[in-house]
Structure 1
Amino acid sequence: MRNILPILTVLSAILIIWYLGAIWMNSAWTLDRAEGPLTLTEIVQDTMTQDRPRLPAPHQVAAELYDTVIDKKVTSKRSLVYHGWITLTSTLAGFILGTVVGLLMAVGIVYSRTLKMSLMPWAIISQTIPIVAIAPMIIVVLASMGVEGRAVPKAIIAAYLCFFPVLVGMVKGLTAPDAMQIDLMKTYNATPAQEFWKLRLPTSVPYLFTSLKIGIAAALVGTIVGELPTGAVRGLGARILVGDQFGNPLMIWSALLAAAALAGILVSVVALLQTVVMKRMGFAQ
């Protein structure tokens, strides 16, 4: 109960602020349509039931989520489950690709001074480039190479955002052993490979999972952002884009909350995997 109470308190505060914001932002449309003076109760009631509000009320978004998640068949193109699955597949593909690239680059940077001096600055600079500007370029390049569709470009965009936190976390983790531990391995006449597998890699596990939780969230953001400027017709990003084009805030907000829920699930899965692995390795939780 003590763990749930702070969460409920924050959630209640968010809902109160959300409702107040909906009343304030939607009241202008209510007053413009009014033929005479309105009471506060009438204004509040109208702001809570508008078809295309500036800011949908929480219960309106909840109703839209129920309609597009529960009522619609998962194969329907109006189902958020259908669009969420499209986004999820590209996110996981990009997450795996970005993780592999980040791990390989981290190992290279730790064991090679040349790679450290050459790769790390470029990795940092790469994160300053707006992903929205890169997405169309990736599609054009892949199309010229004969790669059609949006799945591969979205996965690459997701990997682009995912690899950097994995890279930074693993560089920190692989260099975490202190000089005494490294000297002890040398005393045992351990080879570089033995030093890596028996000392550096186990020490880096906590850093790895921390970076993976950040990386998988970044991969989801990259996938959704990649769906916006690429002309995608499927996925949560495409759902947001369609809602914006047709002036349907309920569609936009429901897709945003579905994306937030998906991010929470993915991070929770990584956290659960972290707990299992850390316990098996004997780390204190």
Structure 2
Amino acid sequence: MSNTIQKKAFSLISLVLIIIAIWYLAALIMNGNQLINNLERRNQDWTYSQIMSQAYEIKRPMLPTPHQVALELKKSIIDKSVTSKRSLIYHAQITLNSTLLGFIFGSILGILIAIGIVHNKTLESSLMPWVIASQTIPILAIAPMIVVVLGAVNITGVLPKAIISMYLSFFPVTIAMVKGLRSSDKLHEELMMTYSASAKDVFWKLRWYSAQPYLFASLKVAIAAALVGAIVAELPTGAQGGLGSRLLSGSYYGQTEQIWAALMVAAALGSFLVWLVGLAESALLRRRGGLDHA
């Protein structure tokens, strides 16, 4: 077991080091070209040693280096109070609220649609094409419309962003639950019918039980999609808080370190949320008497 853990740790550390090395190389090339263009525009001479020494310290770089992003994270997380509007923790909390609310709405909606599709053939033929077609519309086109329409009826704040998160998160839950609810063993269904089991009994004691692994697999995708939806909802709306607003302000003022720091926090938040869903899945498997496959 210890050898396996050591191998996994070595592989992870090696991958991280390779990514950092590629990152530094890309920053040298991109920021170096930025410096060369600036110097040539001013008709100033330059040398390769000069470019290499300045490429990693340039202000407003085209691609910030890992240590520049780390310094920005320190400044935005450790050095700032969590109540400060310059703190990434403050903005992450705002995005998290929209994400969780949208995830809950999307999961409930997806499960209800799947139940209806599985138990009603007419609903399947009429509703499923619209469920699939809904995901072909770019979220960037829908987000401003939802915010404007809800704002016209004085619905602002978390709810519009949660609805956009719900729009992205309900689809994987719907598709997976349709598959899961239909995955129950036909012999088991026939056996329950011989005992005069009601449709309610078949659903709760057989179909729902069979669908749970599919549900949790889809929830991992759904919660990540909900986070993306919350961030996207903050981009075109001029939101005063949230990771999306930090991305927008960083892009507006050319603060690439701020953009990358916000992206890192968003990635960490997404990984944490997926891990929580996996933790719930493992707890359910243990309760069902299954093995933890995570």
Q: Same-fold call, TM > 0.5? A: yes
1:157 to 159, 164, 167: 164
Quote the RMSD (CA, aligned, Å): 1.2
Contact 2:111 2:177 in 1 (8 A): yes
Write the distance in 2 (CA, Å) between the matches of 1:151 and 1:194: 38
1:73-92 matches, within 5 Å, as: 73-92=81-100
The reply on whether 1:6 has 2:11 as its aligned counterpart is yes
1:37-116 matches, within 5 Å, as: 37-40=46-49, 42-116=50-124
2:184 to 169, 177, 189: 177
For 1:53-88, what per-residue CA distance to the aligned partner results, in whole angstroms no more than 9, with x for missing partners? 000001100110011011100000000000000000
For 1:113-136, what per-residue CA distance to the aligned partner results, in whole angstroms no more than 9, with x for missing partners? 111111111000000001111111
Identity over aligned residues, as a percent?
50
Unpaired stretches in structure 1, ≥5 consecutive residues? none
For 1:239-273, what per-residue CA distance to the aligned partner results, in whole angstroms no more than 9, with x for missing partners? 00000111110111100111000000000011111
Write the distance in 2 (CA, Å) between the matches of 1:160 and 1:207: 20
The reply on whether 1:188 has 2:195 as its aligned counterpart is yes
The residue identity in structure 2 corresponding to 1:165 is P
Per the alignment, residue 257 of structure 2 pairs with 250
The residue identity in structure 2 corresponding to 1:38 is T
The reply on whether 1:263 has 2:292 as its aligned counterpart is no
**Which stretch of the first structure deviates more once superposed, 16-25 or 42-51?**
42-51
Contact 1:169 1:211 in 2 (8 A): yes
Contact 1:74 1:82 in 2 (8 A): yes
The residue identity in structure 2 corresponding to 1:162 is S
2:282 to 262, 270, 275: 275
Deviation at 1:3, TM superposition (A): 1.9
The residue identity in structure 2 corresponding to 1:223 is A
Write the distance in 2 (CA, Å) between the matches of 1:129 and 1:150: 24
**What's the secondary structure of 1:231's corresponding residue?**
coil
**Which stretch of the first structure deviates more once superposed, 175-184 or 204-213?**
175-184
For 1:20-46, what per-residue CA distance to the aligned partner results, in whole angstroms no more than 9, with x for missing partners? 100000002333438434243x32221
**What's the secondary structure of 1:224's corresponding residue?**
helix
Per the alignment, residue 39 of structure 2 pairs with 33
For 1:114-172, what per-residue CA distance to the aligned partner results, in whole angstroms no more than 9, with x for missing partners? 1111111100000000111111111122123231x231110000000000001011111
The residue identity in structure 2 corresponding to 1:95 is F
1:207-218 matches, within 5 Å, as: 207-218=214-225
Large movers: runs of 4+ above 4 Å = none
**What's the secondary structure of 1:2's corresponding residue?**
helix
Write the distance in 2 (CA, Å) between the matches of 1:107 and 1:125: 19
Per the alignment, residue 140 of structure 2 pairs with 132
Write the distance in 2 (CA, Å) between the matches of 1:283 and 1:7: 28
1:142 to 150, 157, 162: 150
1:229 to 212, 230, 236: 236
The residue identity in structure 1 corresponding to 2:179 is K
Aligned residues: 283
Per the alignment, residue 3 of structure 2 pairs with none
Unpaired stretches in structure 2, ≥5 consecutive residues? 1-5
Deviation at 1:222, TM superposition (A): 0.3
Write the distance in 2 (CA, Å) between the matches of 1:260 and 1:139: 25
Write the distance in 1 (CA, Å) between the matches of 2:226 and 2:245: 16
The reply on whether 1:284 has 2:274 as its aligned counterpart is no
Contact 1:150 1:230 in 2 (8 A): no
Contact 2:60 2:256 in 1 (8 A): yes
Per the alignment, residue 204 of structure 1 pairs with 211
Deviation at 1:237, TM superposition (A): 0.3
TM-score, scaled to structure 2: 0.93
The residue identity in structure 2 corresponding to 1:33 is L
